[in-house]
Amino acid sequence: MPGKDYSYDIPDHPIEYIKVDPRTIKFDHRAQRNLNKARAAAIAEKLVPTALGTPILSQRDDGLYAVDGMHRVYACQLILTGKVSVSEDVREAIQTITCEVHSGLSMANEASLFIIKNKESSKVGPNDEFRIGVLAGHPLFQDTNTVLEKHQLKVGSSSVNGVRGIKGILSIVMEHGPEILDLSLTIAEDAWGRTPDTWHSVTIGGIATVMSKHSDELNPQELAQKLKRQGDPTSFRAKIQTIATNNNTRHDGTKGRLKAAHLAVASAWNANRRVNRIPVPNIFE
């Protein structure tokens, strides 16, 4: 529900900086992004040891595992195992590398640490962040995932059961709460059935905004029927885009599209209605 604390939390634990042989470092892809070996090879070919930075590791019972800096670590492994050729100076410089080693973390803590370290970085895609956030047990991702699983929806899928725009879906939960997301997904499915565009985050965001503001005034089943009369979900998305760009005369952004979606959903409810109308926002204010 709105106002819930969705901040990250990791318990106090020992941290030390030590020299580590890169070849001894292990990877567990459940708690971070998938390893892109081609990217790591490209890093290895141009590796500058003094710009390597400080990879972050977790000390588990069975060894050291990369938490952040996985591609840099794997690049070093490629060099030291002879799979990528570099100068002898570079090879000698990375026999051991300085790492930030965290002890006493659970895998969920590792996943949270990964997100915290990368949250402001464009390196982590939203689908990876969601997957790792669920593993971390972070309430925002867990609450969202619970609703998506209830509706048999998957993040990153392009099928009729695939959610498009997980960042927008997470924003709905942060702003309006998981209950409104649940209700909005139900309304969308009642209106359009299960199609890829049914679950687009901008459309769902428009429904969520209207329901959050006017849940006491609106009947969800009636709203679904009103939306159905607007055409299929692809056509409705096109209508939102036209509103957001003022007939392609201005650029739109995420906030502009969400305001346009709010307007489109509110207008659908008001269509042919003399009473129980709801306010329609002015998106160009």
The pLDDT tens digits for 230-274 are: 999 999 999 999 998 875 555 566 678 899 999 999 999 999 988
Report residue 120's pLDDT band, with 50, 70 and 90 as the boundaries.
Answer: low
Which residue, among 5, 283, 228, has the nearest Cα to 138 in the 3D structure?
A: 5
Q: Look at residue 140 and tell me whether its pLDDT is greater than 80.
A: yes
Tell me which residue has tokens 């709801």: 278
At residue 90 the predicted structure's pLDDT band, cuts being 50, 70 and 90, is: very high
Which H or E element spans position 97? strand 97-103
- Which contiguous run of DSSP H or E holds residue 60? strand 56-60
Average pLDDT over the chain, rounded to an integer: 91
CA of 193: how far to CAs of 60, 161, 179, in Å?
A: 47, 11, 20
In the beta sheet, which residues pair with residue 15? 102
Read off the DSSP letter of residue 50.
G
Here the tokens at position 253 are 């952004």
Strands 63-68 and 56-60: antiparallel
| pLDDT(56) > 90 | yes
Q: State how far the Cα of 210 lies from the Cα of 227, in Å rounded to an integer.
A: 12
Mean pLDDT, range 153-179, rounded to an integer: 93
pLDDT score of 2 more than 90:
no
Task: Give 118's DSSP letter.
Answer: H
The Cα 211–Cα 222 span in angstroms is: 12
Q: Is it the case that residue 158 has pLDDT exceeding 70? A: yes
Predicted TM-score (pTM) of the model is: 0.68
